[in-house]
Structure 1
């Protein structure tokens, strides 16, 4: 039975999008759930493979234009993201943050697949086999050989408060409940601070900073009243909640991907009833490539700092 050209095209689209989506989601699930690894292979070679596979399969019967191929890659990417979210493999916020970086490699893969489809059908099969066999091996190698990329990162945020240094200090050590956030980033499931309290005073006291997903437990290391409060982080809550499955937090292994080491508040008197308050966090993350994910992590930490510092400013100035 001969298949018409129109039906042939729709079959090619369905097979390209369906087969590639399943293959890509399987690779992602293997990296995230089995290896517990958010590595460079996951964010570079996997989206590259998506572009290569969807385009080369789509052009299996006959070569397609680059524009058509890019459209199929885009649909495949959308379907793969939807499956990840629907089956709770990844949350919406993680998918959205990864999408801009991954899209670059998807379109690079699309161009490669576009070139391959012009040759012969044997090349398509080779590319498909290569991606499905080699990428998991590279994921395992990366997981075993590269434990952490980059070192400790420092993020500092500051604000000027029109109040006495002593008043600001009191509100740094312990501040009342913070009003509900208005920032868009905190409506995506990212954890944010709600209040803080401290047990004891001086070095050795323990500060509890409450977040929407749990508490940061912060033993005080430097208590230089009213100048500097520095603390380490003994325990930290998970960094986000998934939005589709609201009652399900991200897996426990997320603790090791974003690790807060220590933090501090420094107060500098600028004049009478004028204080510069600086909040600093030292952290590292095991999500690669760091050069990209650092952009997101610093933005989120600055947003958390601003939420706390702005609240301290409001409470201090209205004291």
Structure 2
């Protein structure tokens, strides 16, 4: 069975029937996942516009649910983009709208416009504008245009609007694919495989330009690469199909002009996803020994592992300036110093503090000392952290930690599992270090008491 192609056509009536179904697929997935977990669904305007964000906001979201929902959303967006390009082929217009239909906040409005778009007279029939082969000038144009879109998008989205969302991580690479695929094929038709290679080359050169211009570092690009590559390849297929139809007239390129509006829209409605993490460890030492280790200022001895290699922030040491509620605590991280205020102080039982000044969330790997990447500050923050000590039989102690964070980057279902993994690794490292120090301190105290006796 042959799969639908971007080069085909979809009539208005068929589009009006299928597009609403594809629009509702992510909503249905979210509703089913929430129902399976027994979480009530609030079907307000936020749910209808951004269903994935609503799922991400549910407490204790399992990583499996997040992966399923995100995969469903991407598949639905890809199918809607295919249907929308086929609809634009029928009308001979609307390619710019079809190219931005992958952005959730814009999907409903775009689909509504495409559903009523009339047919426009075409000067050229399908296939009259191409022959098999390649045109070096147009290939180079396509690659350079893709590079320019990536650099311009980061300058406008990240540095101007401070927006990291679907438009930057999905719509931009999709438009890179559309633009490169269309320009490279608009006179002589390349194979689908050759077009895909050109699209990936354009994306690779664009990301290399971001590093060269100190706009991004290697780690962020590496983390976003899988998502961007998929979107770019789909866009490349769409751009090639429009060129193959011989009726684009350059109209697909007009979609790039819509990016700033999408960036501004997402900047006005940023995500604010709370992430709460818990971890626990049993310590073969008394609560007093654990408390001493907790309030001490010794450095964490174990290495950071993967977090250090990736440049993500990891704790080095905590120093208390005073005692009791209101005291200042300095949290020394690999990226800087966080200033904290003690909010809970119950000796041998509970210690809590809130962050007043954040340390950068990461230090980008780059050939430059300073990278102009706003996401290292303010897009992932720590709020409150608390330690609770529970006495156990045999002079042992259970030490619990609870940490609250906020993530402000879309797509949240893509970035949240990565953030949770980094949090979990940091919490485990802290608890293991405290366990080692408390048990060593307890052994020292017992030896001292034995000598005195």
TM-score by length of 1: 0.90
Distance in 1 between residues matched to 2:383 and 2:282, nearest whole Å:
26
Does 2:208 correspond to 1:82? Answer: yes
CA contact (8 A) 2:214 2:368 kept: no
Can you give the 5+ residue segments of structure 1 that lack an aligned partner in the other structure? Answer: none
Match of 1:218 in 2: 340
Greater length-normalized contact order (CA 8 Å, ≥ 6 residues apart) = 1
CA contact (8 A) 2:380 2:405 kept: yes
User: Once the 2 structures are TM-superposed, how far is the Cα of residue 61 of structure 1 from its aligned partner?
Assistant: 1.8
Secondary structure at 2:214 match in 1? coil
| Higher deviation after alignment, 291-300 or 154-163 | 154-163
Distance in 1 between residues matched to 2:304 and 2:359, nearest whole Å:
22
1:53-82 superposed Cα distances (whole Å, 9 cap, x missing partner): 111112122222222221111111111111
What is the correspondence of 1:175-186 to structure 2 with a 5 Å cutoff?
175-179=297-301, 181-186=303-308
Does 2:156 correspond to 1:26? Answer: no
Pick the structure with greater CA Rg. 2
Match of 2:274 in 1: 152
Higher helix residue share: 2
TM-score by length of 2: 0.64
Does 2:414 correspond to 1:292? Answer: yes
Match of 1:140 in 2: 264
Note closer, same or farther for the CA distance 1:236–1:173 as it changes in structure 2 (3 Å cut). Answer: same
What is the correspondence of 1:78-227 to structure 2 with a 5 Å cutoff?
78-120=204-246, 122-123=247-248, 125-130=250-255, 132-144=256-268, 146=269, 148-179=270-301, 181-227=303-349
CA contact (8 A) 1:238 1:250 kept: no
1:236-263 superposed Cα distances (whole Å, 9 cap, x missing partner): 1111222214522655674321121111
CA contact (8 A) 1:193 1:211 kept: yes
Match of 2:433 in 1: 311
Match of 1:270 in 2: 392
Secondary structure at 1:259 match in 2? strand
Can you give the 5+ residue segments of structure 2 that lack an aligned partner in the other structure? Answer: 1-131, 442-453
Q: How many residues align?
A: 310
Distance in 1 between residues matched to 2:194 and 2:203, nearest whole Å:
14
Does 2:186 correspond to 1:72? Answer: no
Higher strand residue share: 1
Match of 2:365 in 1: 243
